[in-house]
Amino acid sequence: MSLVLEVNGLSKKIGESMLVNKISFSVQKGEIFGLLGPNGAGKTTTIRMLVGLARSTEGTISICGHDIQRDHRNALKNVGTIVENPELYPYLSGLENLRQFARLSGPINEARIAEIVKLVGLEERIGEKVKRYSLGMRQRLGLGQALLHNPALLILDEPTNGLDPSGIREFRQLLLNLAKQGTSILISSHLLAELEQIVDRVGVIHRGKWITTATLAELSSQSKFNRLILHVDSVDKALLCLKTAHPELELRHENLGQLILEEPPKVLNPILDSLLQANVQIFKLEVQKSSLEDVFLTMTGGPEHA
């Protein structure tokens, strides 16, 4: 699979603050790559460097084989982007917005505009003024603008912010369809749940440093069994038994008949044997595994809102 985007040793420093610190990653043709990190992790700074809105302090960015510093024009002509909110003219119709945007790149291609309108699902509303559009419709129109010149790489910075569940679902399906057609997509988010249904791989960034690049399956393999719930006939008897036989265990109980072991050992047989020898009846055993979100939060030190 050919590389559409290749980033090597990319850094951005302002004064004494290192906003992005020597990160490296790549995006392949037709791949949806998630740039994941808490708010303030360096995602937007990275994206601004990728689309030419900010200069890097060091490192290289190559888009379709063109170095963004040495061959700026040819690199960026392969990129479509939405950074933060799409820039639209509210008193023009959706169609007029697309024509105005297309005019910036040369002669207007009406056939391409019609193709884009259908692609983003705005056929019935494209003649209305943008000021009447919902946020989801504005995002779809912004996506249409970004796709007008048929870019090889689409870069999106938190594109689902503010969208309702229906809007997120529609936007997600649009991206999946584009990837099937061969468009490479880099999409940033601070929420793994927004990405895990569509991405092929994720890169995790935290405090400007690259933590890992992985598929969701690889991330999932890093999760662990972190809670064991025992449904027993007598919580008091079970507590007394385990505190005596296994004092190292972290035990608690919330509901009648349920005993919870936090961070249980990998081998459960000694625990179960102790309970059975104490004549504790075990009705049900639940092993809860940490979620992908838990893995992400562990990597980034927990929730952050910088």
pLDDT digits (tens, 9 = 90+) for 84-95: 778 899 999 999
Residue 99 pLDDT grade (very low, low, confident, very high; cuts 50, 70, 90): very high
Confidence check: pLDDT of 306 > 70: no
CATH assignment of 3-221, among 3.40.50.360, 3.40.50.300, 3.30.420.40, 3.40.50.720: 3.40.50.300
Looking at residues 24-35, what average pLDDT do you find? 97
| Residue 57, φ and ψ in degrees, nearest 5 | -75, -40
Confidence check: pLDDT of 165 > 60: yes
Helices (H), 104-134: 110-119
| Confidence (pLDDT) at 9 | 97
Looking at residues 110-138, what average pLDDT do you find? 94
Q: How many CA atoms lie within 13 A of 74 on its CB side?
A: 7
Maximum separation of any 2 CA atoms in the chain, in Å: 84
- Print burial letters for 124-153: b (CB count within 10 Å at least 16), e (below 16): ebbeeebeebeebbbbbbbbbbbbbbebbb
Q: What mean pLDDT is reported for the chain?
A: 89
Number of C-beta neighbours around residue 39 at 10 A: 12
Distance CA 55, CA 50 (A): 9
| Residue 209, φ and ψ in degrees, nearest 5 | -105, 145
| Confidence (pLDDT) at 224 | 63
Secondary structure, 3-state, 140-195: HHHHHHHHCCCCCEEEEECCCCCCCHHHHHHHHHHHHHHHHCCCEEEEEECCHHHH
Q: With residue 299 as reference, give the H or E element that holds it.
A: helix 292-299
Tallying the residues shown for the chain, one arrives at 306
Residue 163 pLDDT grade (very low, low, confident, very high; cuts 50, 70, 90): confident
Q: Could you give the residue range(s) of every CATH 3.40.50.300 domain in the chain?
A: 3-221
| Confidence (pLDDT) at 253 | 83
Q: Could you give the residue range(s) of every CATH 3.30.70.2470 domain in the chain?
A: 225-289
Q: With residue 286 as reference, give the H or E element that holds it.
A: strand 282-289
Confidence check: pLDDT of 21 > 90: yes
Write out the CATH class of domain 225-289. alpha beta
Distance CA 203, CA 7 (A): 12
| Confidence (pLDDT) at 1 | 54
Q: Which is more confident, 202 or 217?
A: 202
Distance CA 70, CA 273 (A): 69
pLDDT digits (tens, 9 = 90+) for 127-155: 999 999 998 899 999 999 999 999 999 99
| Confidence (pLDDT) at 110 | 94
Number of C-beta neighbours around residue 177 at 10 A: 11
Contact 135, 166 (CB under 8 A): no
